[in-house]
Amino acid sequence: MTNFASLSNDIKQYLIVTGNYWAFTLTDGALRMLVVLYFHQLGYSPLSIAMLFLFYEIFGVVTNLVGGYLGARLGLNKTMNIGLAIQIVALLMLVVPNEYLTVVYVMIAQALSGIAKDLNKMSAKSSIKMLVKAGQEGTLFKWVALLTGSKNALKGVGFFIGGLLLTTLSFKGAMLAMAGCLSLVWLYSLYALKNDLGKAKAKPKFSEIFSKSQAINVLSAARLFLFGARDVWFVVALPVFLAKTFGWDHWQVGGFLASWVIGYGIVQSIAPKLIGFKAGIQPQQQAVKWAGWLGFVTLLICIGLVSQWQLHFVVLGGLLLFGVLFAINSSLHSYLIVSMADADGVSLDVGFYYMANAMGRLIGTVLSGWLYQLYGLEVCLAVSLLFIVLTMMISVKLPSNKLSG
């Protein structure tokens, strides 16, 4: 506590924002796993489960655009607190009898959760730009990687918690427990977050929510297909495949996916070392190279599935390799957007970029349920490979100048 008190006010505010983001991430990961497993248990088809997340992703697209604008005008503290409050409402909406849990009703609750998630993410990621001095690219990459990696590790813990809560407390009990814990975080946030961190000096116009930077537009397009490539087989197809084909129960599915995401987050946090940032990096070269390795692994998994050779080894081993390479790609992209964003009103550029991220998740989520239901996991992975190839082709247009510092 003494060390915390000696920090500058901006650093304190950023640490509180990060803590809020971590707490929110635990509930977000748990909620996703709870919805997938519980509604699969109720007999919903893979496509129906995917549709439950449709509004979550659609409103994520809208929220990142509007949220970036609000963050620049109001300050990131206000957007963070609004996001926490909305997530609490979304959780409480699901504490109703089963007959009320229709597809449309759950989609509305998920829409609120999607809005909350992206307000929190945009606030936390944008804050870093305000605290790292211009030109310190190595420090910026390290901070972004640590935030992104820790968030995803905690999301994995959330997956584990979701499976555990469904087994021990039931679906409704899990919702109440998470809403109660997050309410305490929200009340502290209302008290502690007082500064308008990230508030633009010049009030941005609403028309400025769309990026005018060629580099950010290219990076956003690459991000769209990168995350579509992950979610097209990870969101719905993989959990259902593990439960149906391998015969795993809720605890096993939740535990394995939790471990995967935790490991994925750890790799993200050390990505600067794996990429070798000390000598500087070229965005174009690195983005294309790491996407290429990700595509190669995805191709091998596709071949193994089609040949029906050692399914457990192919799916589980391939998933681990995919996770390592995807984590490096994701961490690299997250650093590049913060580095390229305009320092004044940074949330505008970051919000636009994560709008593309949410669009990729939306496309991947819908395709994950639809393609798996009609064709199986093999086709989901084939589409994933196609998206990775598109990511590589788009990344060729990124700036080729070296970033160092």
Q: From first to last of its 405 residues, what are the pLDDT tens digits of the chain? A: 555 566 666 667 667 777 888 888 888 888 888 888 788 778 877 777 777 777 777 777 777 777 666 666 666 777 788 889 999 999 999 888 878 888 788 888 888 888 888 787 777 767 676 666 666 666 777 777 777 788 778 887 887 788 788 888 888 888 999 999 999 999 988 888 766 655 555 455 544 445 567 788 888 899 999 999 999 988 788 888 888 888 887 677 777 887 888 888 888 888 888 887 665 677 788 889 999 999 999 999 999 888 888 888 888 898 899 999 999 999 888 888 877 766 555 666 777 787 888 889 888 988 888 888 888 888 999 999 999 999 999 999 988 776 655
What is the 3-class SS of 51-95, one letter each residue? HHCHHHHHHHHHHHHHHHHHHHHHCHHHHHHHHHHHHHHHHHHCC
CA-to-CA separations, 138 to 98, 271, 280, 353, 359, in angstroms, rounded:
51, 12, 8, 21, 29
Please tell me the distance from the alpha carbon of residue 37 to that of residue 20, in angstroms, as a whole number.
26
| Nearest in space to 147 (alpha carbons), one of 25, 278, 276 | 25
Inter-axis angle of helices 377-395 and 346-374, nearest 10 = 150
Phi, psi of 323 (to 5 degrees): -65, -45
Q: Give me 138's structure tokens.
A: 């190595």
Q: What is the pLDDT at residue 206?
A: 47
Q: What is the pLDDT at residue 23?
A: 87
Q: What is the pLDDT at residue 216?
A: 83
